Every structure is written in C-alpha cells, then in structure tokens.
A and B are shown apart, each in its own frame.
Chain A
Amino acid sequence: MRSDRGQSAPLGLKIAAACGLLFLHLPILLIFVYAFTTEEKSFVWPPPGLTTQWFAVTWNRPDVWEALSLSVRVATISTAIALVLGTLCAAAVSRTKFFGRETISLLVILPIALPGIITGIALRSAFSLADIPFSFWTIVLGHATFCVVVVYNNAVARFRRTSGSMIEASMDLGADGFQTFRHVVLPNIATALLAGGMLAFALSFDEVIVTTFTAGQQQTVPIWMLEELIRPRQRPVTNVVAMVVVLVTLLPILFAYYLTRDGDQIAGSGK
C-alpha cells in the first residue's frame, strides 16, 4: 500500500485508530499516577492527595529486593542459555537445508505457541515424575526453554540478510573457521543477538505463568506481584513496584527496537 501518498485518512478511521491506541496506553499511564497516591486501603479515583513517601517505603522492603535479585539472576542465566541455543539453531537452520528443518523451527516455536499453562504443568509433572526438587535451576530450565525462540527469531532474520559469500571470501583469504566466526560472522549478527538477548531478558523478567509451576517457595518479582494481587497487603508498595516494572521492561524494548529498526524484520514480533 504505497501508492496513495499524501492522501488523508477518513475522519472515522482516524478516530477509531486513535481510540484504539488510547485504549492500549491509558491503563499503563494510570499506574504512574497511582504510585503517588496517598490512599492506602482502596483504589479510589481521583487520588485524595499525592506523595512520594511510598518510594522510600518500597526501598526499605527486603522482600521486594529479594524478589528483584532472584528475577535478575534467573533472567540473566536464562538469557545466556537462550543466546547460545538460539544462535546455534538459527545458524544451522538458515545456512543449510536438511531433512527435518521445518520440524526444528516448529520445535523452537512450540513452547511459546502453546498456552503457558501447558508448558508450566508439563514441566511440573516432569519434575515430579523424576523427583527433581524445586530450586533456582528449575525456574531457569523453564525460562530458558521459551526464551530460545526470541533469540532464534532475531538471529534467523539477520542470518538471512547476511550474504554467505562473505563467509566464503573470508575462507578464501585464509581465515580458518574460528577466525571467520570471530571476525566476520559475529560482527554481522552482534546487534541482532543483543536485541534478541534484551527481549529474552524482558520476557523472562516478566514471566509468571510458567514460573508459578516451577518456582516452589521462591518469589520472583511477578510472583510477588501475583501474591499481592490475590491477597493485597500493601497496595501502595504494589503500585510503586508496578511502576518500576513498567520502566524496567520499557528500556530493553526501546533499545532492542533501536538496534534492529533498519532491518526488514522487527524485534519483538515473536513474543
């Protein structure tokens, strides 16, 4: 649809599109207002007064810090695993044609295509059948599994744009396989990997459904929030944590977009 440059949209369409976008954004903006409210017991609107005291209260809560630290550690290790597995898979699938190639793509996408509850309960029943106790590593196991697809999508898109003749040229000029990887392949895919890694981090940092099945007694930030949502104890603290979570996930997405914006494929479309 490129031929109608300069033509203006009908008013009704403009209004419908604007309303749709407002519908998507206003609820998130509302979180920012509630983080400053003086009201403790209910969600009353408009806020009776504004205060910044809840930021200090939240800062001094050890349970929030513990959840945050666990979430960051899980996301970091899951992202690292996903980066290695996703890149290997993308390199294999994009460079060669082999029997079962379509099956491999399906296998990578499946953990995110099936509802999270299926992944979660499947992992849990496997843990219980194999008598594996819940730990930090059971969380990582689940997260890394569905983070692979994000890295894979970004890397596959970049591999497709990278011409194979560059690798052949490098080999012709006498570089061995490892040198070619280090000096030719890696610089080419680096930004795609960084973008994929950021998105994988954001995905893991935010994941709750699979985590409820694989975490046992430990609390990541989303699990902490879920507890507060079901049994509210400290509404103002929850408001502040919600606002911080929005900001923390916003930055990697904007950065990932910036890294891949001139590409044909777009980061994040694989969530």
Chain B
Amino acid sequence: MSVDATMPRATAPAILPGSGGMRGALSDLFWRRPQLLLLLMLLPPVLWLGIVYIGSLFALLAQSFFSIDEFSGLINRQFTLKTYGDLLQAANLDIILRTVTMAALVTVASAIVAFPIAYYAARYARGRWKALFYLGVMLPLWSSYLVKIYAWKLILAKEGILTWLFAKLHVLWLLEAWLALPVVGGNSLSVSFTGTFIVFVYVWLPFMILPVQAALERVPGNLVEASSDLGASPGQTFRNVLFPLALPGIVAGSIFTFSLTLGDYIIPQIIGTSRLFIGQAVYSQQGTAGNIPLAAAFTVVPIVIMGFYLWGAKRMGAFDAL
C-alpha cells in the first residue's frame, strides 16, 4: 500500500478488517442485515404485548360468549349470545345510561374549567410562569389517584371543610337545598352524585388541560388580533376563531375524560350513592357474583362506545392535537 506524502499518518487501510470474535461477527451481521436487527428489537416488546395484553383481551372477549348456569353457578363454555341478552335487561341498561350520562357531563365540565387555564398558559404565561403552569398541571396529574380521592372524601364529608365553609359564609341553606334535590342530592355531598361528579372532574381535569393547551399554542396570536381589528367583540372572536381552532384539542382531551369515566369503579364506590356504574357492575359481577361472562360482556360496552368515539374524534383531527 502506498502512503500519500501529504497525509503521512493515514496508514490505516480504507476497509477495516472484520473485527474478530462472536461480538464482531454479530455486529457485522446486523450491519449487513438491518432487517434482522429490527426483527430482534421488535420481537421482545411485540411478544410481551401480544401475548400478555392482546391475548388477555381475546380471553376476555371469548368469555363474554360463554354463559353461566343459573342453578350450579358454573360457567358453561359453549358459544351463546345469552349473556348479551342479559346485558339488555332494564337494570343493566340503566347502569349503562347512567355511566354514559355521567361521562358526558364530566367531559363538558372539564372542558369549561380547563379552557381558561390552558388559554392563559398558552397565550400569556412566559418563561418562569410557563414552567410554573406546566408543573401546576403536571403535579396533580401524577399525584396518587387514591390520595386525590381521599382528599375529596375529607372535603365532602358532612363534618368536613366544605360544610364548614358554607356555614362560615352563612349560606348553609344553599347546600341543604341542593342536597334535598331528588337525583343529585343525598345525605351529604360524599354520598351523592354531585360528589361523584366533582371528584371525576377533579381527577381527570389535567388530562383535558394538556391537549387544549397544545392546540391553543398552535393558534397564531395575530389571528386573534386580526379578528378584533375587523371589529369582532371578544365573545365573537372566541366563538368564531378561538373555539373552532381549539376544538381538536378539546376533543382529544375528551377522549381521556370520557374513557376514564366510563371505566372507573373506585370513585363511585368511595364517593357516591349505592347505584352502580359500569365499572362497579363489572367488578361485582366478576367478584362476588362470580358471573365472569356477564362481566366480560359489560366491558365490551365501553370498548364499543370508545371505538365509535375514537372514530369520530379521528375525523375531527383530534389525534394531531395529542
């Protein structure tokens, strides 16, 4: 090999010899066949999720086509649609309707509470304030779910801080009048639908704020200015400019609030009435009642509802806002 005079130190050959040993051989093999490396990288996660998760989902789905023998309580492993027929009983339809109504109300309320926070954080917060707003949403999001529910049990209890506050402000009659209402009331806030609703909104609110903020960050500020330059009132600007542009973010957030409310069984169990939600029905059917087929059929309901919801959300462009 001739060495160029201008590059006296370039003594290494242009093509390096293959590095020896197992390690070198493997390394060379992966370089020559990137598909093999890709396959090896994908195999563990796909196998894990495919077997553990998708496998379990199919096991669940399969069980919903089994039925329970009403006399022996044993599960009859033969294909039948009887369990889905049971699902359509009035009591079960009631549970489904109640859960979907609650999920819809919670979603609307979270959107209303989330919007000002998201809007302020996206449009006005700068530098240190921006970080503070971000952490201000992130910390409650990641705080323990049970601790948050526990905190609300303390707040909503009959002897708790909220009753005390109403008494201090001399408006205790207002609270009592509300609790005397038929559906939303109860003995105290912690055993009423109002309590369930407040806790749902509280727990899922950060899931709404983040996508709405992300959507609002992408709205150019001069669009809002142009709208007011053209004579729109702040209300008109909100209705015709901001809201339509923020809508994908709101829909993205509503996926979380809606889906999480549909599946939750702990919040209505701890703070709420004795009337069941879908999650509680699933839990009691598989646990105390031992009717796993009906529990499985019940879980198919939120999956189907969310399927339609996601399909609609995708058409509204919500996934770009995630």
Given A45-B160, A115-B263, is A107 in contact with B50 using a C-beta cutoff of 8 Å? yes
B138 within 8 A of A: yes
Which residues in B have their C-beta under 8 angstroms from that of A80? none
- Verify A125–B27 contact, CB threshold 8 A: no
B45 within 8 A of A: yes
A141 CA to B48 CA, complexed, in Å: 9
A30 CA to B165 CA, complexed, in Å: 14
- Verify B138–A246 contact, CB threshold 8 A: no
Q: How many A-B residue pairs have CB under 8 A?
A: 275
- Verify B141–A117 contact, CB threshold 8 A: no
Most buried by B among A84, A91, A116: A116
Which residues in B have their C-beta under 8 angstroms from that of A107? 46, 49-50, 53-54
A56 within 8 A of B: no
A205 CA to B26 CA, complexed, in Å: 38
- Interface residues in A, total, Cβ within 8 A: 92
B135 within 8 A of A: yes
A13 CA to B115 CA, complexed, in Å: 10
- Please tell me which one of the listed residues B24, B26, B37, B113 contacts residue A23 in the complex, with CB atoms under 8 A apart: B113
- Please tell me which one of the listed residues A21, A30, A44, A96 contacts residue B151 in the complex, with CB atoms under 8 A apart: A30
- Please tell me which one of the listed residues B38, B116, B121, B302 contacts residue A92 in the complex, with CB atoms under 8 A apart: B38
- Verify B150–A17 contact, CB threshold 8 A: no
Most buried by B among A34, A118, A124, A238: A118
A208 CA to B126 CA, complexed, in Å: 37
A54 CA to B106 CA, complexed, in Å: 36
Minimum CB–CB distance for A174 against chain B, Å: 6
B57 within 8 A of A: yes
Residue of B nearest to A111 (CB): B53
Which residues in B have their C-beta under 8 angstroms from that of A261? 131
- Interface residues in B, total, Cβ within 8 A: 103
Minimum CB–CB distance for A84 against chain B, Å: 7
Which residues in B have their C-beta under 8 angstroms from that of A98? 38
Question: Does more than half of chain A's interface fall in helix, strand or loop, or is it mixed?
Answer: helix
A76 within 8 A of B: no
A90 CA to B17 CA, complexed, in Å: 32
Chain B, range 250-287, C-beta contacts under 8 Å to A: 259-260, 262-266, 269-270, 279, 282-283, 286
Minimum CB–CB distance for A204 against chain B, Å: 12
A63 within 8 A of B: no
B216 within 8 A of A: yes
A271 CA to B206 CA, complexed, in Å: 10
A49 CA to B117 CA, complexed, in Å: 36
* Stretch of B1-9, B83-91, B172-180, B291-299 at the chain-chain interface: B291-299
Interface string of A202-234 (1 = CB under 8 A from B): 100010110010000000001001100110000
- Please tell me which one of the listed residues B154, B202, B219, B295 contacts residue A43 in the complex, with CB atoms under 8 A apart: B154
B191 within 8 A of A: no
Interface string of A1-27 (1 = CB under 8 A from B): 111110111100110110011011101
A154 within 8 A of B: no
A148 CA to B46 CA, complexed, in Å: 11
Which residues in B have their C-beta under 8 angstroms from that of A16? 116-117, 120
Residue of A nearest to B263 (CB): A115
Interface string of B15-59 (1 = CB under 8 A from A): 010010001101110110010011001101110111011111101
